[in-house]
Amino acid sequence: MSGSVVSRDGTRIAFDRQGDGPPVILVGGAMQFRAFDPETSEMARQLAGKGFTVVNYDRRGRGGSVDAASFTLRDEIDDIAALLEAAGGEAALFGNSSGGAISLAAAAAGLPVTKLALWEPPLGVEGGSEGTEFLDGLRARIEAGDQDGTIEYFMKDMPPEWLEGARDGPGWSTMVGMGRSLAPDAEALAWAQSAPRTGLWAAVSQPVIVLVGEDTLPMMVPAADAIVAAIPTARKATIRAADHRWEPKVMAAALADFLAE
């Protein structure tokens, strides 16, 4: 079933909902939305088949949620709050990559999140300044209207072949069209460095699992370990995955096991 909710600022957030059981909301990372991310849509279908109600939504500025005037981390938290209300008042969150940092912020803000599953949030070191510097650089390119430069800047620290493949691929025009929506991703990563994490995440008391791939980028394991060290209810698990990507069947199985505990 497809539908939508209206966020605090009036932005309409579009979603697909399928399955019957405890609800889980999928919080996408950079460049992800339903029509541009078939892997997550397939994972949602498989997870729903395992006895869960799965809400897969387009984050503001993307896909069916394209009409938005503001792009901040607070806006993203408000969007999740509206989805939680529509899901029955509470739900688990699955945050993919930078969507994991947004999910952490939502839980830390006190939203009624039952469980938190995070896939490789690309967090810098606690107390570092690179997140704020990255956010400032990204916002400067967004405000200048440099669409190509916004995506190139966002991907500058990723493996260079990722950017080359994206720029030469058929999805580049879609990616440059969602540049403004990347600001909350960068803001969430900067927020995760803005204060000691034991205090920043003190309100996160629900069960948390941080998933990493068997073959992953160098920063992902230390980032996961930092989350586990700061949140008493968190643990880390490794799944069969590589290069910051996962297979729908593998991820659906890992999430189902965690959510059923």
* pLDDT tens digits, one per residue of 148-181: 999 999 999 999 999 999 999 999 999 999 999 9
pLDDT digits (tens, 9 = 90+) for 67-108: 899 999 999 999 999 999 999 999 999 999 999 999 999 999
Residue 102: what pLDDT?
98
Tokens coding 3: 């539908």
Q: List all residues 6 or more positions away from 125 whose beta carbon is below 8 Å from its beta carbon.
A: 193, 222, 226
> What is the DSSP-derived secondary structure letter of residue 245?
B
Domains defined along the chain, listed by start: 2-123+197-259 (3.40.50.1820)
Please report, for residues 44, 50, 55, 257, the alpha-carbon distance to residue 20 in angstroms, rounded to integers and kept in the order given.
12, 9, 11, 16
Q: Give the residue from 230, 241, 243, 122 showing the smallest Cα distance to 255.
A: 241
Q: List all residues 6 or more positions away from 240 whose beta carbon is below 8 Å from its beta carbon.
A: 213, 214, 247, 250
Q: Say how far apart CA 183 and CA 255 lie, in whole Å.
A: 27
